[in-house]
Chain A
Amino acid sequence: MSPAPLLSVSDLRVGFATEEGVVQAVDGISFDLRPGEVVAIVGESGSGKSVTAQTIIGLTRANNARIEGSVKLEGEDLLSASDSDLRRLRGDRIGMIFQDPMTSFNPVYRIGDQIVEAIRAHRETSKSEGKRRVVELFEAVGIPNAERRVDDYPHEFSGGMRQRAMIAMALALEPEVLIADEPTTALDVTIQAQILGLLEQLNRERNLATILITHDLGVVAEVADRVLVMYAGKVVEEGTLDEIFYDPQHPYTWGLLGSLTRIDRPRPHRLPQIAGSPPSLLDLPDGCPFRPRCPHEFSKCPQYPGLEARLPEAADHRDRCWLTPEEKKAKRLVEGQIGLEPPPEVRQA
């Protein structure tokens, strides 16, 4: 019934050899991206979400990188693609935008020139033709005074405008997939909403399949179709937007949801936060990686939980928690809302 996946990631593992050992930044993530779909990958820093995104287009290739698994774009394996093949599809078939638009543009070149450069890397186009295209793109992403702005330097744009320009650049060659790596993190809250709105509009109008990377579940609520929650390099829960928001199965997800400030609920007593900090990837505990921060830890947790669908009616809703669905339903409510309490002693792995 659903169309064939555009992008198919299967058991992707990315490790980096460092002086202190191998850091397994990504430990087996799998997902499919269908045309027009928006998949969100959510997690704290160090969870492996950015590494996943960058590995898809080969930006993490390095001498000390160990990349395993498969990433297929319409059947073509990207992990084993040659550098020149990869270069060809970057920007053209997969566009990518990054977190900080200020530093993501070269400060010494005009923004228009940098976008034209992207176009001319893949198409035979004259500079003036390219510039015209840039003006069109600017208008499409909502940058006013497009004709003039094309000749401006990055620091002459405001943060929100810069991110729009980034998006324009990513769309210049009309790719089938857009990867957005924390596109709103560096922006003010009001601008965040605008950019998200833009991404949602582009997804709708152009059927643009999108992978959205973020640490903020609130961002995801606007746009995503499916959500993957990552922790310490592993996917700890995945499902549709509704499943994650209304029936979350993993304590970490509860913590993330609990830490969202919601205007439709009364204000909680304490500032909501997940106690403790993300673990060092060199020193992970046995079994479930979330154990040190989880108040619901019990005897089965030292056994590494697999990513399985534990709800019979939701075959695509998977999680990594040994608690039974009934226990989860009960334990996830803190003062009447979904949340996570700090564990008895806050422990760090």
Chain B
Amino acid sequence: MHISLAAERLFTIAGIPITNTLLVSWGIILLLFVIALLISKNLSSEKPKGLQNFIELIFEKLLDFMGSVTGSRKDSIKYFPLIATIFIFVVLSNLVEIIPGLGTIGIMEGEHGHETLVPFLRSSSADLNFTLAIAISAVLSIQIFGIAALGFFKYWKKFFCPPWEKPYFIGTFIGILELIAEVAKVISFSFRLFGNIFAGEVLLTVVLVLVPYLAPLPFLFLEIFVGFIQAVVFSMLTLVFIKVATAHH
């Protein structure tokens, strides 16, 4: 049994290492692209069918849920693309870990006697590059929405308050704290998701090695639940931060 914090490198293209998590990310993007194309091709306003109904249901529920945070449908629609993309991408990346054979099919690498398994696929949320990328995108978007809502100078005054203006040094100090908080958001976002999903993968691997039959089943259910909750937490926290960043004080 080999457990690695970093995603395993499979091969390199033009100097860029291609990891198993990157492959899974591409797979998810491709899948979503196909679904999006299928839906937009057969879109019907009067008589929605099958998949469109399902997507509409999810979107409507997500919009309602967002409405409970934003308090207005207009705002919910405005932030919907970002929040929905985070939710869908993260939830699919999380749920990929329960696919059988994901962490067990691969190639053996290494020296004689020290061979380790390099799985072809690995849940992309169990890679800090992925979680960090989404966290950075989310926090950057929060700043952009904040600037769009309040104006550049008013928004940045939150972080850079000159000590000669009210409330003087306290304002400057709070500004520094706010700046640290923004960086902390990136760290907490990425490590929370990575920690949960990576731990889940490790847990599943360990249980699978110890008791291969039946025992992993409850853990698989637990991982489905955790994967969904983490996606909700990530997307809703982003929405709450956007709401705070765009609020007029």
- Binding partners A and B: no
Interface of B toward A, CB cutoff 8 Å: none
